[in-house]
């Protein structure tokens, strides 16, 4: 049986970033994911903010990696053809006391190396953020903050890693791990062996670590409920709008997203259940009140969707370390915010840890760093769209009316690995608009079934147990 040099558990943004970084080297890499598709864990409900590095404690690991990651993300997004937009962020003060704290925040961030910070006054805000509450006194402006699509980043990182030789196994859940001569990982799809093991299992990183006898940390899910607004409100703000941070969170934000829809949230609720993705009325009220304090124009009727995500928190900082007690085992745990931003820096750090623990990293002769940008018709100018349709009529066949997704984008997404309705949604935005798939669900199912050979009634929302329909008349 094949012995991999490295196995990574967990195909979220951390696992995907590590796999892509390692795929530069002459190594056999495998990535194991328990869900049916990648990015179906913590990453699927990420806000998509590439943080500048503000709001992190001075001297923290996450602060350092965030600042590095912000820079690295730009190059990676260029190479992979993922849309990254530098929109900037404002941390807004509403009282004199808060205004004073802006200076502290600025100082702390500067000590971490966050560039080009500036404190702006109410006149600046009035001119540059006209929808911001007139009660805002001042703000800390961090121009290097950006936005990206978190799941598309995971898909494109993984696709590029795979192109450079990394192997991906989905619906492959690690159930037991032993360290003998090699790591032996028992999974729902058989035993995998490797010389090195990287735990990037997100919410379940503590469970994975415990399988190797290391149980000095616990992942506490911290739930965040987020509320998406109609795309019509895309220009509600020009930047990401933050309140002053509290000890446990960055507070309720008004977020710009890569898809255009503004988002408000998240809440921050420490919970026990790692599967609890429920949303509540209280969460909605809480978020709406806080968001409207900053942007009074926001109305409850603008909300078209909501969801909850879980931050895999463990204490206040990331845990990234080689476990000397189990040589070759690296934990990458507690990657809460700003994990998406930090991911490429985490990947570099993991490479370093691997080197230090005895792995030789030899560069491949050819590393294909670039991939062709995925086409999203609605973001293309009309001229380009016309040319695309001429080349492939499928681009002229609109399947999703709200987000204007064409049949060709759907079949492309399936070719690139989408197996479920959620997988299609995350990749293409079909079903993510204001009608919630009422219009396109049936057609999407048909295309998915025709292309993958899965019978219509076995098409799922997100894998096992989540079938969309239960019976087909053709079986009568």
Partner 1 sequence: MIERELVIVGAGPGGMAAAISAYENGVRDILLLERDQYPGGILNQCIHTGFGLDYFKEILTGPEYAERFIKKIKAIPEIELSLRSFVTLLTGDKLLTYFKPGRIETVKARCLIMATGCREKTREMVHIGGTRPSGIFSAGLAQKLINIDGLLPGEEIVIVGSGDIGLIMARRFTLEGAKVKAVIEIQDKTRGLLRNVVQCVTDFDIPLYFNHKIVKIFGKDRVTGVSVARVDSDMREVTGTGFKIDCDTVLLSVGLIPENELIEMAGVRIDKKTNCPVSDETNKTSVPGLFVCGNAFMVYDLADSVSKDSEAAGRLAAEYLKKIGRAG
Partner 2 sequence: MKKKLICIECPKGCSLDVDIENCRVVKVTGAQCPKGEKYAISEIEDPKRILTATILTKGFPLKLLPVRTDQPIPKARIADAMKAIRKLRVTKRVKTGEVIARDFLGIPGVSVLATRDLEMLK
Pull the structure tokens for residue 319: 């845990």
Which is closer to partner 1, CB of 109 or CB of 385?
A: 385
**Which among 472, 194, 187 is positioned nearest to 326, based on CA atoms?**
194
**Which among 46, 8, 54 is positioned nearest to 336, based on CA atoms?**
46
**Residue 476 in the binding site for partner 2 (CB under 8 A):** yes
Is 48 within 8 Å of 54 (Cβ atoms)? no
**Which among 87, 6, 9, 20 is positioned nearest to 346, based on CA atoms?**
20
Q: What is the nearest approach in angstroms of partner 1 to the Cβ of residue 464? A: 7
Is 144 within 8 Å of 137 (Cβ atoms)? no
CA distance 334 to 317: 7
Pull the structure tokens for residue 151: 């799941």
Q: Pattern of binders to partner 2 over 414-453, x per CB under 8 A?
A: ----------------------------------------
Which is closer to partner 2, CB of 145 or CB of 444?
A: 444
**Residue 471 in the binding site for partner 2 (CB under 8 A):** no
**Residue 460 in the binding site for partner 1 (CB under 8 A):** yes
Pairing of strands 118-121, 398-400: unpaired
Q: What is the nearest approach in angstroms of partner 1 to the Cβ of residue 8? A: 25
Of the residues 131, 238, 279, 326, which one makes contact with partner 1 according to CB under 8 A: 279
**Which among 50, 39, 44 is positioned nearest to 308, based on CA atoms?**
44
Number of residues that bind partner 1 (CB under 8 A): 56
Q: How many residues does the chain have?
A: 476
User: What residue 305 binds from partner 1, partner 2, none (CB within 5 to 8 A, per partner kind)?
Assistant: partner 1
Residue 202, helix vs strand vs coil: helix
User: What residue 210 binds from partner 2, partner 1, none (CB within 5 to 8 A, per partner kind)?
Assistant: none
Which is closer to partner 2, CB of 362 or CB of 474?
A: 474
Which is closer to partner 1, CB of 36 or CB of 137?
A: 36
Residue 75, helix vs strand vs coil: helix
Of the residues 301, 324, 362, 372, which one makes contact with partner 1 according to CB under 8 A: 301
Which is closer to partner 1, CB of 306 or CB of 367?
A: 306
Which of the ranges 26-34, 113-121, 137-145, 392-400 carries the binding residues for partner 1, by CB under 8 A? 392-400
**Residue 456 in the binding site for partner 1 (CB under 8 A):** yes
Helix axes 150-163, 61-80, angle to 10 degrees: 70
Q: Pick the catalytic residue: 51, 322, 370, 436?
A: 51
**Which among 99, 89, 146, 88 is positioned nearest to 122, based on CA atoms?**
99
How many other CB atoms are there within 10 angstroms of residue 417's CB atom? 16
Binding to partner 1, residues 204-233 (CB under 8 A): 232
**Residue 473 in the binding site for partner 2 (CB under 8 A):** yes
How many other CB atoms are there within 10 angstroms of residue 439's CB atom? 16
Q: What are phi and psi of 403, to 5 degrees?
A: -105, 0
Q: Radius of gyration over alpha carbons of the chain, in Å?
A: 22
**Residue 474 in the binding site for partner 2 (CB under 8 A):** yes
Is there a catalytic annotation at residue 51? yes
Number of residues that bind partner 2 (CB under 8 A): 3
Residues found near partner 2 in the complex (CB under 8 A): 473-474, 476
Note the residues at the interface with partner 1 (CB under 8 A).
Answer: 232, 275, 277-281, 284, 299, 301, 303-307, 382, 385-386, 389-390, 393-394, 396-398, 401, 404, 406, 421, 434-439, 441-442, 445-446, 456-457, 460-474
Active site residues: 51
């Amino acid at each position: 049986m094949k012995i991999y040099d490295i196995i990574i558990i967990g195909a979220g943004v951390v696992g995907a970033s590590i796999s892509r970084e390692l795929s530069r080297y002459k190594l056999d890499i495998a990535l194991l994911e328990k869900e049916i598709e990648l990015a179906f864990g913590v990453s699927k409900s990420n806000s998509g903010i590439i943080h500048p590095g503000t709001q992190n404690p001075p001297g923290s690991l996450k602060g350092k990696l965030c600042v590095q990651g912000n820079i690295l993300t730009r190059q990676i997004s260029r190479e992979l053809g993922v849309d990254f937009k530098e929109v900037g962020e404002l941390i807004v003060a509403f009282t004199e006391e808060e205004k004073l704290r802006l200076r502290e925040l600025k100082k702390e961030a500067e000590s971490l190396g966050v560039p080009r910070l500036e404190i702006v006054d109410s006149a600046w805000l009035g001119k540059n953020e006209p929808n911001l509450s007139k009660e805002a006194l001042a703000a800390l402006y961090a121009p290097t903050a950006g936005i990206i699509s978190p799941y598309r980043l995971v898909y494109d990182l993984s696709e590029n890693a795979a192109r450079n030789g990394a192997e991906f196994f989905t619906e492959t859940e690690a159930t037991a791990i032993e360290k003998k001569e090699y790591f032996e990982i028992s999974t729902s799809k058989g035993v995998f062996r490797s010389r090195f093991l990287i735990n990037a299992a997100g919410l379940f990183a503590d469970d994975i670590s415990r399988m190797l006898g290391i149980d000095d940390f616990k992942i506490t899910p911290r739930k965040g409920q987020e509320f998406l607004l109609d795309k019509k409100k895309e220009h509600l703000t020009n930047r990401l709008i933050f309140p002053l941070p509290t000890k446990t969170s960055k507070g309720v934000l008004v977020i710009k997203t890569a898809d255009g829809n503004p988002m408000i949230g998240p809440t921050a609720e420490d919970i026990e259940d790692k599967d609890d993705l429920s949303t509540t009325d209280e969460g909605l009220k809480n978020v709406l009140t806080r968001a409207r304090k900053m942007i009074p124009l926001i109305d409850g009727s603008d909300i078209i969707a909501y969801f909850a995500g879980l931050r895999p928190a463990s204490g206040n900082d990331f845990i990234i370390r080689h476990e000397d007690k189990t040589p070759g085992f690296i934990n990458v745990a507690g990657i809460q915010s700003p994990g998406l931003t930090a991911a490429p820096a985490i990947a570099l750090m993991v490479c370093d840890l691997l080197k230090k623990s005895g792995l030789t990293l030899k560069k491949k002769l050819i590393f294909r760093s670039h991939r062709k940008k995925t086409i999203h018709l609605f973001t293309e100018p009309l001229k380009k769209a016309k040319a695309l349709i001429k080349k492939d009529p499928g681009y002229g066949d609109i399947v999703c009316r709200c987000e204007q997704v064409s049949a060709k984008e759907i079949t492309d997404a399936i070719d690139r690995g989408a197996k479920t309705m959620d997988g299609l949604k995350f990749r293409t935005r079909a079903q993510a608009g204001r009608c919630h798939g009422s219009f396109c669900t049936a057609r999407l199912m048909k295309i998915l079934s025709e292309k993958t050979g899965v019978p219509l009634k076995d098409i799922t929302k997100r894998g096992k147990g989540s079938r969309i329909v239960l019976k087909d008349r053709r079986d009568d």
